[in-house]
Amino acid sequence: MLGKDQSVILQMLEVPGEGMKKLQGVKMELDDSAFPLLAGTTMSSDPHEAFGDADYALLVGARPRGPGMERKDLLTANAKIFQLQGSALNEVARRSCKTLVVGNPANTNALVAAHNAPDMNPENFMAMTKLDQSRAEGMLAEKYGCSVDEINRMIIWGNHSSTQYPDISHASIKGKWAKSVVDMKWYEGEFVPKVQKRGAEIIDARGASSAASAASAAVDHLNCLHVGSGDKWQSMGVVSHGEYGITPGLYYSVPTICTGDQTYRKIMGIPIDPYSAKKMNTTEKELLEERDGVKSLLGGSFEKIVKPYNVREKLRASMSEDELKTLVETEAKFTFDETVRVRMLENVKSAAPKPELTIVNEVLKEAGQPPYTKEIFDLMKGNPMQRKKATEMYTEVKIKTAVSKLSDGQKSALRDSVKGKKAFEF
């Protein structure tokens, strides 16, 4: 998922009771599979525990849609789940955590989760429309006798729903403009509605939502984000800043490019024909209706958007080729928050660059936190197990720092309160 050499720790979340019992079976199968890149597994029914120090969060848990159900029927019930999960992510996950929402209605669930994580960058919340793109590419490949690798620039606009717009206006099939190859009557009359309703078709066939294909799409999405997707366009449901006239703040699927630095870049300036504009407006209208349906769970302004990502993009645009190479090498080492990443970019352009540890500790000082030691800093740049150890060490540093500010009487009372419990010495 994150590259052939990147090990992972899976921190799995389930509902109490029967859900945890089934998750135990999943954990046993994972352990028995002896995956070389699986560095560890944990289980919890508490999102504050499961999301602790997470680099990536896949929010797949939602009430499933059954036969005859419309997605809007799930809206309020599922939005409450993502309100709680967004809040938990805000409290315990890494500031740089990338969150992929899979549970439906994915776009609006991403909106709810992001609004309830006010200290995190809304750019880092995404709704999965990779599955829709894969469905569209698969249908085109079957129809025109080619591999899905020979199809590029297939776009999914808007909502992950029956109003989504699968757009071939800029796509290529075997190197040729798709509209010069595709029968447009088939495209408008069969292809578009089939892609839009593929999820419902699968539910009718198997009595349950997509499983293997959805899991595959989630893996592909995060692989593109982390490793890169070359020059192939990837559809992602991401926060709008008004591009293409889309209402700011909505999580709306647009085409992106992933360059392997754990971020995406929206494809801008694509000409939109009248047919496409109509389809795009229809799916935007549905997203606005969904947004209004969960208004009470959002809190604050609908247009609450912070843009550290855009700050980094402007800095990147001003860099030379050599500076960009240095930047990529530097950013690849870190999973720190956006403030540190921006400082790292500024450091690359500085006439007198500072050591990386100095930059991190300056940010920690501004946040009122104790500094990293060199050992902790070096571990933070390592694999998941090393980062977990670093987090434990830094937690001890923070506790000792806090205790050092207490009076003797307060220290004595604290010692009495932790007698017989595992605690740090002080």
Catalytic residues: 160
Task: With beta carbons less than 8 A apart as the criterion, state whether 250 and 104 touch.
Answer: no
d(CA 78, CA 298): 13
In sequence order, what E strands does 25-149 have?
38-44, 56-59, 98-101, 125-127
Q: Return the structure tokens found at 62.
A: 């939602």
State the residue for tokens 């936190």. Answer: 369
* DSSP string over 328-368: HHHHTT----HHHHHHHHHHHH-SSPPPHHHHHHHHHHHTT
Element (H, E) at 252: strand 251-258
Radius of gyration for the alpha carbons in the chain, expressed in angstroms and rounded: 23
Of 245, 251, 280, 256, the closest CA to residue 165 belongs to 280
- In terms of residues, how long is the chain? 426
Kindly give the residue spans of alpha helices, DSSP state H, lying in 161-273. 184-186, 192-196, 198-206, 212-227
Classify strands 38-44 and 56-59 as parallel, antiparallel or unpaired: unpaired
Burial 286-324 (b: 16+ CB within 10 A, else e): bbeebbeebeebbeeebeebeebbebbeebbeeeeeeee
Any idea which residue has 């009495």 for tokens?
A: 416
Helix (H), strand (E), coil (C) string for 285-302: HHHHHHHHHCHHHCCCCC
Assigned token pair, 322: 């050599």
Nearest residue to 11 via CA among 64, 61, 58, 75: 58
State the Cα–Cα distance between residues 362 and 353, nearest whole angstrom: 14
Q: Looking at 56-126, list the stretches that DSSP marks H as alpha helix, in order from N- to C-terminal side.
A: 75-92, 106-115
Helix (H) / strand (E) containing 326:
helix 321-331
Tokens, residue 163: 């109003």
User: DSSP state, 371?
Assistant: P
